[in-house]
Amino acid sequence: MTATRTSWPTKPLPSRTEGLDYVATFSPEQVLLLRRGFVPASTDDRWFVFFEEDWLYFHHSRGGACIYALRLDRLGAGVKVGRSWVNRNPDEHAARLPELDRAVLGGLIKHLLLQA
């Protein structure tokens, strides 16, 4: 099943964001997995991820807030992350070091999206 914006309840995108400088490239096979996204089976899964208009959005499943977003730009047959941001609304996401946010995002990509 491919996730879409309407596959799970979400809040509007945050008004306060900060560039995340997340660097990654993905093969054509990985791109197919990224575009599929992730729909939680319940709020216990904690994340909802969908792809729309070259952006990959990561929302908390419980509150629906968008926490991370990546713009995927073509790179040969695959893609690279062209832009990335993290939610900096303190009511939706606790402030932490960008390095930690990048590590969390990398783990989400690896464990939620790239494990077929």
110 vs 24, 80, 93, 99, CA distance in Å? 12, 15, 21, 16
Q: What is the pLDDT of residue 1?
A: 83
Task: Kindly report, residue by residue over 79-98, the tens digit of the pLDDT.
Answer: 999 999 999 999 999 988 99
Closest CA to 83 of 109, 64, 56: 56
Q: What is the pLDDT of residue 116?
A: 59
The domain limits of the chain are 5-113
Task: Kindly report, residue by residue over 10-51, the tens digit of the pLDDT.
Answer: 999 999 999 999 999 999 999 999 999 999 997 789 999 999
11 vs 64, 76, 92, 102, CA distance in Å? 5, 34, 10, 22
Residue 51 corresponds to which amino acid?
A: F
Tokens of 2: 């491919």
DSSP 12: P
Residue 103 corresponds to which amino acid?
A: A
Q: Which contiguous run of DSSP H or E holds residue 32?
A: helix 28-36
Record the pTM. Answer: 0.95
